[in-house]
Amino acid sequence: MNIEQFRDYCLSKKSVTEDAPFGEDWVTYRIGGKIFALLYLRDPVFKVNLKHHPEENIELRERYPEIEPGYHMNKRHWNTVNFEGNLRLDFLKELIDHSYQAVLENLSKTKRRKLGL
Protein backbone atom coordinates (compact mmCIF):
# COMPACT_ATOMS: atom_id res chain seq x y z
CA MET A 1 0.00 0.00 0.00
CA ASN A 2 1.46 3.35 -0.97
CA ILE A 3 0.61 6.76 0.50
CA GLU A 4 -2.06 7.53 -2.09
CA GLN A 5 -3.77 4.19 -1.54
CA PHE A 6 -3.57 4.72 2.22
CA ARG A 7 -5.14 8.17 1.89
CA ASP A 8 -7.91 6.90 -0.38
CA TYR A 9 -8.65 4.00 1.96
CA CYS A 10 -8.87 6.25 5.02
CA LEU A 11 -11.06 8.80 3.26
CA SER A 12 -13.37 6.05 1.99
CA LYS A 13 -14.48 5.43 5.57
CA LYS A 14 -17.65 7.11 6.74
CA SER A 15 -17.27 10.64 8.22
CA VAL A 16 -13.46 10.73 7.99
CA THR A 17 -11.73 14.07 7.64
CA GLU A 18 -8.14 14.88 6.72
CA ASP A 19 -6.15 17.81 8.05
CA ALA A 20 -2.65 19.03 8.91
CA PRO A 21 -2.92 20.63 12.37
CA PHE A 22 0.77 20.12 13.22
CA GLY A 23 2.14 21.75 10.07
CA GLU A 24 2.36 20.74 6.45
CA ASP A 25 4.60 17.74 7.18
CA TRP A 26 1.97 15.95 9.30
CA VAL A 27 -1.37 14.62 8.05
CA THR A 28 -4.08 13.35 10.35
CA TYR A 29 -7.19 11.32 9.61
CA ARG A 30 -10.04 11.80 12.05
CA ILE A 31 -13.46 10.53 12.93
CA GLY A 32 -15.59 12.92 14.97
CA GLY A 33 -12.57 15.20 15.46
CA LYS A 34 -10.47 12.39 17.00
CA ILE A 35 -7.32 11.13 15.29
CA PHE A 36 -7.20 7.50 14.21
CA ALA A 37 -4.21 7.78 11.84
CA LEU A 38 -1.21 10.12 11.81
CA LEU A 39 1.33 10.31 9.00
CA TYR A 40 4.65 12.20 8.94
CA LEU A 41 5.40 13.03 5.31
CA ARG A 42 9.12 13.76 5.73
CA ASP A 43 10.04 10.32 7.04
CA PRO A 44 12.06 8.49 4.36
CA VAL A 45 10.05 5.34 5.17
CA PHE A 46 6.25 5.32 4.82
CA LYS A 47 5.08 4.81 8.41
CA VAL A 48 1.75 5.57 10.04
CA ASN A 49 0.70 5.88 13.67
CA LEU A 50 -2.44 3.81 14.30
CA LYS A 51 -4.41 3.20 17.46
CA HIS A 52 -4.86 -0.33 18.79
CA HIS A 53 -6.19 -1.95 21.95
CA PRO A 54 -3.42 -1.92 24.59
CA GLU A 55 -3.78 -5.59 25.50
CA GLU A 56 -2.92 -6.59 21.90
CA ASN A 57 -0.10 -4.12 21.24
CA ILE A 58 2.71 -6.08 22.90
CA GLU A 59 1.87 -9.21 20.91
CA LEU A 60 1.70 -7.25 17.64
CA ARG A 61 5.08 -5.64 18.32
CA GLU A 62 6.69 -8.96 19.22
CA ARG A 63 5.26 -10.76 16.20
CA TYR A 64 5.84 -8.12 13.51
CA PRO A 65 9.09 -6.13 13.25
CA GLU A 66 7.16 -3.56 11.17
CA ILE A 67 5.08 -2.61 14.23
CA GLU A 68 6.72 -0.49 16.92
CA PRO A 69 5.49 1.62 19.84
CA GLY A 70 3.82 4.80 18.57
CA TYR A 71 6.31 7.55 17.76
CA HIS A 72 5.47 10.68 19.80
CA MET A 73 2.25 9.03 20.98
CA ASN A 74 0.99 7.18 24.04
CA LYS A 75 2.85 3.93 23.50
CA ARG A 76 0.24 1.96 25.37
CA HIS A 77 -2.45 2.80 22.80
CA TRP A 78 -0.56 3.67 19.61
CA ASN A 79 1.71 1.82 17.20
CA THR A 80 3.90 3.07 14.39
CA VAL A 81 3.41 0.75 11.43
CA ASN A 82 5.95 0.48 8.62
CA PHE A 83 3.90 0.24 5.43
CA GLU A 84 7.00 -0.55 3.37
CA GLY A 85 7.75 -3.76 5.24
CA ASN A 86 6.44 -7.26 4.63
CA LEU A 87 2.94 -6.83 6.03
CA ARG A 88 0.16 -8.02 3.70
CA LEU A 89 -2.22 -5.47 2.22
CA ASP A 90 -5.24 -7.06 3.90
CA PHE A 91 -3.46 -6.94 7.28
CA LEU A 92 -2.57 -3.25 6.81
CA LYS A 93 -6.23 -2.55 6.05
CA GLU A 94 -7.23 -4.49 9.19
CA LEU A 95 -4.90 -2.30 11.27
CA ILE A 96 -6.43 0.86 9.76
CA ASP A 97 -9.95 -0.50 10.31
CA HIS A 98 -9.12 -1.40 13.89
CA SER A 99 -7.79 2.09 14.59
CA TYR A 100 -10.86 3.71 13.04
CA GLN A 101 -13.18 1.42 15.04
CA ALA A 102 -11.27 1.97 18.32
CA VAL A 103 -11.69 5.74 18.01
CA LEU A 104 -15.30 5.45 16.85
CA GLU A 105 -16.18 3.32 19.89
CA ASN A 106 -14.92 6.05 22.19
CA LEU A 107 -17.07 8.77 20.65
CA SER A 108 -20.19 9.73 22.54
CA LYS A 109 -23.53 8.43 21.30
CA THR A 110 -24.51 12.01 20.52
CA LYS A 111 -21.43 12.58 18.39
CA ARG A 112 -21.93 9.25 16.57
CA ARG A 113 -25.55 10.18 15.89
CA LYS A 114 -24.49 13.57 14.48
CA LEU A 115 -22.05 11.77 12.17
CA GLY A 116 -24.75 9.33 11.09
CA LEU A 117 -22.91 6.37 12.61
Domain count for the chain, please give it.
1
pLDDT digits (tens, 9 = 90+) for 101-113: 999 999 999 999 8
CATH number of the domain within which 38 lies: 3.90.1150.30
Stated pTM of the model:
0.93
Mean pLDDT of the chain: 94
Structural domain boundaries, residue 80: 3-114
Specify the DSSP element, H or E, that contains 100.
Answer: helix 89-105
The four Cα atoms 23, 25, 29, 34 give a dihedral, to 10 degrees, of -40
Alpha carbon distance 34, 30 (integer Å): 5
